[in-house]
Amino acid sequence: MAQGDAELEARLAEQDEFEPSEEFVAQANVSDPDIYEEFEENWPDCWERAAEMLDWDEAYDEVLDDSNPPFYEWFTGGELNACYNCVDRHVENGDKNRVAIKWEGEHGETRTYTYQDLYREVNEFAAALRAQGVEEDDVVTLYMPMIPELPVAMLACARIGAPHNVVFAGFSADALATRMNAADSRFLVTCDGYYRRGDPLDHLDKANEGLDGVDHGVDATVVVDRLGDDGFGHDLKGNQHDWDDLLDEQSGERVAPVERDAEDMLFLMYTSGTTGQPKGVKHTTGGYLSYATWTSHAVLDIEREDTYWCSADIGWITGHSYIVYGPLALGSTTVMYEGTPDFPNRDRMWELVEKYAVDVFYTAPTAIRAFMKWGSKFPESRDLSSLRLLGTVGEPINPRAWKWYYEHIGNEECPVVDTWWQTETGGMMVTTLPGVKNMKPGSAGPPLPGIDAQIVDTDGDEVEPGRAGYLTVNKPWPGMLRTLYDNDERYVSEYWAEYSDTDSDDPDDWVYFPEDGAKVDDDGYVTVLGRVDDVLNVSGHRLGTMEIESAIVGVEGVAEAAVVGGDHEVKGEAVYAYVITEDGYEEGPDLRARIIEGVEDAIGPIARPEQVVFTPELPKTRSGKIMRRLLEDVANGAELGDTSTLRNPEVVEEIAAKVRTQA
């Protein structure tokens, strides 16, 4: 490292607050500090500011209907179409030749969609869906990787008022079947395969296996031919159709965007919870789209002229809100990349930033930690001077990674927004407004204007600054989930029961609990400490320990299993599985391999255990509850916590010794 670099590192290491540059502030979409007060004073009408960013077919009567908490309704009486707002209006407003999507395949092939191109293909696919029998309110499952047909299909669904249900392509066949079953979905759009680190992956095989597990009739499946000659030669079955054939049949077709009620469902997104059954988070047309658009504008500072890149996968909420809906509603250019950040080289991300002159870049701490590990020579070999703002999401970012990002990617010129939010919140909730607030590495920042969040103790009383407590949200917001699909009861019990008076119909008695621990400093900056439920955060992806455990106990030879998260340098958390074998079965490499396979089959490779530890017993309390905290200590090689309440205290040291020898 050069002398100057060392000095710079030393200076940054000591600095704990960073100011946005005057140049940034001067051009920021939001730069008036009064916005916090303004939103507070005018709440809930302040949210009109978000709704005004959209075109409505029918004006709403009321901003918020809170007469039946926690079943809040936003912009009631209003009608709009999400696809119209993301596509048609830009075509009509003279932006038809502006680029909507810049796509880059792993091999470097590229596709560019102008808003006009998007308009044409979305219309044709909307017509194709209709021709396959999709009607308004039918749930269409999209099991697709990062190819342009995915946003096209999402927008086509939105156009005809058919909620989409995107299932991350890395999820297994079982996971697809579970989600199609839970959502009563009779339509599937998928593809033959895609590329990962140079090799074609057979995706249709997995999709077909998933379809075999669907417990109701499936009316039609549409298959995109992504691999061409590299494909696996699957024949399409009776009700399976080739994407291109369907588009050809509908060539030049136009479908009028369906006027949707503001509260009509735009999409479902399944996410992991404490129990084995994933939760079908329901988002609506008016509130969600307003919120995604507003936060893209206010936090990501996206302007219509920008080229913006979020490196998430559209299979997660981040991609929904901040690759597809927010950036397209704003009429900007959104970049999509199919592959991994280290293929063919470790400078792939920076190559793309340089090539497309990306203005705003949004990624995850796990990626930043990997970039850091690979070294700054990769970003240094590229021209990143087009960047204006950087963002992160998905898990807490440690100050060292934050500073590396700020220095080596942002050249100390770009504000970094650390955005806390969830699948359920629809959009960002806690983060700095980059043109208004200073940044503090390691802290996401204050709640956004209009968001009323507090850190409380187990009784719901606010805790003092500096003390750890639980993050709560005390007022509803437009992007919030409306319920869990077909399960109002679970919606209340999962998110509201903890801190609300559930018998009350006064909205002031209702508090949303995101199940994160947090603390706040004297300036109101929130540091999120992580999940307080049995949910792991592996590389920014949410995984339920119960889901993984039930996959493991489904493996022949396994009697019992406990899964916890262990600290991991790049992934944040890694899956540690403690397994008791059944009598007559031998622990060892064979069973370990079958356990890993079992988890990959039930969920997907992202849930693959980092370590499988065979143990004769699990540490349990006298009442028989597994003491996960101790298993976490063991995974982290930490000093073991109090074992005195255990029925079998000796087992913990035994397991710890095993982990040490296996590691």
Nearest distance, CB of residue 18 and ligand WT7, angstroms: 16
Nearest distance, CB of residue 452 and ligand WT7, angstroms: 18
Nearest distance, CB of residue 499 and ligand WT7, angstroms: 16
Q: Which C-beta is closer to ligand WT7: that of 433 or that of 528?
A: 528
Number of other residues whose CB lies within 10 A of the CB of residue 97: 10
Paired sense of beta strands 260-261 and 453-456, if any: unpaired
* C-alpha span between 490 and 496 (Å, rounded): 10
Q: Which C-beta is closer to ligand WT7: that of 91 or that of 393?
A: 393
Q: Which C-beta is closer to ligand WT7: that of 203 or that of 541?
A: 541
Q: Which C-beta is closer to ligand WT7: that of 78 or that of 469?
A: 469
Nearest distance, CB of residue 347 and ligand WT7, angstroms: 25
Nearest distance, CB of residue 376 and ligand WT7, angstroms: 23
The per-residue DSSP string of 50-96 comes to HHTTS--SB--SEEEE-SSTTS-EEEET-EE-HHIIIIIHHIIIIIT
Q: Which C-beta is closer to ligand WT7: that of 113 or that of 495?
A: 495
DSSP class of 461: P
Nearest distance, CB of residue 422 and ligand WT7, angstroms: 4
Please say whether the beta carbons of 411 and 8 come within 8 A: no
* C-alpha span between 19 and 40 (Å, rounded): 24
Q: Which C-beta is closer to ligand WT7: that of 530 or that of 554?
A: 530
Q: Which C-beta is closer to ligand WT7: that of 155 or that of 323?
A: 323
Nearest distance, CB of residue 564 and ligand WT7, angstroms: 16
Smallest CA-to-CA distance from 207 within 267, 142, 131 is with 142
Please say whether the beta carbons of 283 and 482 come within 8 A: yes
Smallest CA-to-CA distance from 261 within 486, 561, 13, 57 is with 57
* C-alpha span between 86 and 324 (Å, rounded): 8
Nearest distance, CB of residue 561 and ligand WT7, angstroms: 23
DSSP class of 407: I
* C-alpha span between 393 and 396 (Å, rounded): 8
Nearest distance, CB of residue 488 and ligand WT7, angstroms: 20
Nearest distance, CB of residue 403 and ligand WT7, angstroms: 16
Query: Half-sphere exposure of 65 toward its Cβ, with a 13 Å CA cutoff?
Result: 15
* C-alpha span between 309 and 335 (Å, rounded): 5
Q: Which C-beta is closer to ligand WT7: that of 156 or that of 433?
A: 433
Q: Which C-beta is closer to ligand WT7: that of 231 or that of 517?
A: 517
Nearest distance, CB of residue 471 and ligand WT7, angstroms: 8
Per-residue 3-state assignment (H helix, E strand, C coil) for 167-198:
CCCCCCHHHHHHHHHHCCCCEEEEECEEEECC
Scanning 310-423, the segments in alpha helix (DSSP H) are 317-319, 326-329, 348-356, 365-374, 377-380, 399-404
Question: Quick one: which H or E segment has residue 334?
Answer: strand 333-337
CA 499 to chain CA centroid, Å, is 25
Paired sense of beta strands 140-142 and 260-261, if any: unpaired
- Point out which residues bind ligand WT7 (CB under 6 A): 271, 317-318, 393-396, 418-423, 444, 514, 516, 528, 530-531, 537, 540, 542
Q: Which C-beta is closer to ligand WT7: that of 540 or that of 619?
A: 540
Q: Is 466 left (phi over 0), alpha (psi -120 to 50) or beta?
A: left
Q: Which C-beta is closer to ligand WT7: that of 287 or that of 540?
A: 540
- The CA-atom distances, in angstroms, between 114 and each of 54, 254, 331, 359 are 20, 17, 10, 18
